[in-house]
Structure 1
């Protein structure tokens, strides 16, 4: 397999440090090994974006001893772009008819307690439980603190992702026009997300008029009207897999006084939450900064979701910026700040930036204006 560093991953030394820390965390947690199947944890630990199938592929990280990669012989090539060769990870290929679960447990104590990634399917989890005779823990919980604190390579990737999605929002007037359907606009945006440097469009939300009042609306065949407020929430991964996620709200012409007033309070709430981010404060206090302001101006019942979510190799990961989360923020944590206001059946708005906690505050990776962006109202000539 190739030993050249791929654009799809960081240098091998980065993953070597992560594997060593993961083994130490496994030992501290009292588990015999971490068993990591394809997904964000595997990408984090060895730079592999291999897929999961009905045949088991798993990285086994013992608390003591070197890691091994148990994978079907026919899937060995899928790890060619990972760092396993440079890291000296021992391959244990298997063929149909062999027991991969027994292979994964080779060298561990009898009836070991292991921890598995949350991406492991039930089709693999149940046979593994049968082989160990014990209920596993979640490796994702053990790796939580490790993955939450982004290093400089990860922060640089998040900055690239933020700049790329800002460029897409800057082009919104090319596609977002009255007379076009949400679905047609979304298809154009998805293509632009790739054009501007992403590996793919992970999600495209185009919520016009009443659809904007549904935070998780995607897109529909609804024709956009010149009277609509339109929520555009978009993102995707840039190499080596770190995600963008940014929401802006658009209109055509002059919004009503009621809409302008509500949007101004939303912008103020978002700014207050960003200003509240710094080391030593809790995640819930940042949520409260946005939520308390909206409550004070009579919009409490219009803000119906958490203020933010962590981001990295997954679009949604720890830390979650939500009431009840007493997690203390630390430098290197990255998450969204995205309050919204939603008026059922009428309109909605959301403002979202990704921020990274610094030594004395935070850095936003998104730099587009937060104002309710007005686009030309010329109807599309499409039919």
Structure 2
């Protein structure tokens, strides 16, 4: 067991004692990867039927977790991603509670090695978008371009493509839009993003393109999104509540006249999972080591939308963007 892994296990056991939890049973998930000793805790342990069991004196990967839960255990923390059939297979009499009460607070603040891993994931996601700018977009469908992005991501070493966004024209105004058969034409705005897992850690990069030329008034609206993004960076400091960051973004968008069209969410925590703490509404307060994907956006129904997505780390001094890709509205010439 490495020193880093031993420190994590010790912290988890202290948290278990504080929550009155005797055993943790984790299925392949971000929590599993956090505590797995494989690949120094970054294992992408996705084998069917493999579990991690943590007790006061052991950490074991097994296919029979029930056999490792002591008969004296009264409270067992189970993975929030546990499937129903897996819960039934445990067949134990102890009270089952979410393991997130123990693990979520510990995963909030990343150590330097984790931030480096996140930085590599961000670089890989941004490289996919850089290659995407060189593709031929005219006349292709959203779905066809999404397939090409998926291939680029996998070729970059992406272990899991979590989501891909290719929205053209009026579809850019639909936050939940999935790539369809809509053909991409000159004069279209494009929202393009890739979210995936590299070396165990998740990252997303999202940028705005325009085909041949931007739609009328589009650049002005996009400038508001960029202003909101800059305001969020300026506000992301230790001891600042997440909700204050959200208010800062919304104030910028409100002042521009686009307030009714602002996205509901301005960001989310990222790390071993693509959507983890800190989160809005959870009384989360920023601290050094926390990493978030900032994603301010404006969506004007039936016209167009604009969004950027960047992973940023909170430090004791100032926020550090883990990516280097510029926010320039890139005009595609083919």
Counterpart contact for 2:142–2:168, Cα < 8 Å: yes
Which structure would you say has the larger Rg? 1
Compared with structure 1, are the counterparts of its residues 67 and 254 closer, same or farther at alpha carbon in structure 2 (3 Å cutoff)?
closer
Compared with structure 1, are the counterparts of its residues 144 and 133 closer, same or farther at alpha carbon in structure 2 (3 Å cutoff)?
closer
1:166 aligned onto 2:123: no
- Find the aligned partners of 1:325 and 1:295 in 2 and give their Cα distance: 24
Partner of 1:86: none
- Find the aligned partners of 1:281 and 1:262 in 2 and give their Cα distance: 28
Question: Secondary structure in 2 aligned to 1:291?
Answer: helix
1:58 aligned onto 2:51: yes
- Find the aligned partners of 2:129 and 2:237 in 1 and give their Cα distance: 27
Counterpart contact for 2:249–2:266, Cα < 8 Å: yes
String of CA shifts for 1:212-238, please: whole Å, max 9, x gaps.
112232311111011211000112121
C-alpha deviation, 1:257, in angstroms: 4.4
Partner of 1:123: 85
Q: Which runs of 5+ in 2 are unaligned?
A: none
C-alpha deviation, 1:37, in angstroms: 1.7
String of CA shifts for 1:159-182, please: whole Å, max 9, x gaps.
111112222222223225221111
Question: Secondary structure in 2 aligned to 1:328?
Answer: coil
Question: Secondary structure in 1 aligned to 2:126?
Answer: helix
Identify which of 316, 321, 333 aligns with 1:364: 321
Compared with structure 1, are the counterparts of its residues 230 and 36 closer, same or farther at alpha carbon in structure 2 (3 Å cutoff)?
same
1:192 aligned onto 2:165: no
Partner of 1:93: none
Partner of 1:35: 25
C-alpha deviation, 1:107, in angstroms: 5.0
- Find the aligned partners of 2:221 and 2:238 in 1 and give their Cα distance: 30
1:273 aligned onto 2:232: yes
- Find the aligned partners of 2:162 and 2:89 in 1 and give their Cα distance: 32
Counterpart contact for 1:267–1:371, Cα < 8 Å: no
Aligned CA RMSD, in angstroms, stands at 1.9
Q: Which runs of 5+ in 1 are unaligned?
A: 1-10, 73-99, 379-383
What TM-score, normalized by structure 1, do the two folds share?
Answer: 0.81
C-alpha deviation, 1:198, in angstroms: 2.7
1:311 aligned onto 2:267: no
- Find the aligned partners of 1:305 and 1:58 in 2 and give their Cα distance: 36
1:49 aligned onto 2:39: no
Partner of 2:111: 151
Question: Secondary structure in 1 aligned to 2:53?
Answer: strand
- Find the aligned partners of 1:332 and 1:232 in 2 and give their Cα distance: 28
Compared with structure 1, are the counterparts of its residues 133 and 199 closer, same or farther at alpha carbon in structure 2 (3 Å cutoff)?
closer
Compared with structure 1, are the counterparts of its residues 67 and 178 closer, same or farther at alpha carbon in structure 2 (3 Å cutoff)?
same
The alignment covers a number of residue pairs equal to 329
Partner of 1:113: 75
Counterpart contact for 1:37–1:52, Cα < 8 Å: no
Identify which of 271, 283, 305 aligns with 1:348: 305
Counterpart contact for 2:188–2:213, Cα < 8 Å: no
String of CA shifts for 1:64-104, please: whole Å, max 9, x gaps.
322333315xxxxxxxxxxxxxxxxxxxxxxxxxxx53x13
String of CA shifts for 1:334-377, please: whole Å, max 9, x gaps.
1111111112222111011100111112111122221222111x
Question: Secondary structure in 2 aligned to 1:360?
Answer: coil
C-alpha deviation, 1:288, in angstroms: 1.1
Partner of 1:263: 222
- Find the aligned partners of 1:317 and 1:373 in 2 and give their Cα distance: 30
Partner of 2:138: 178
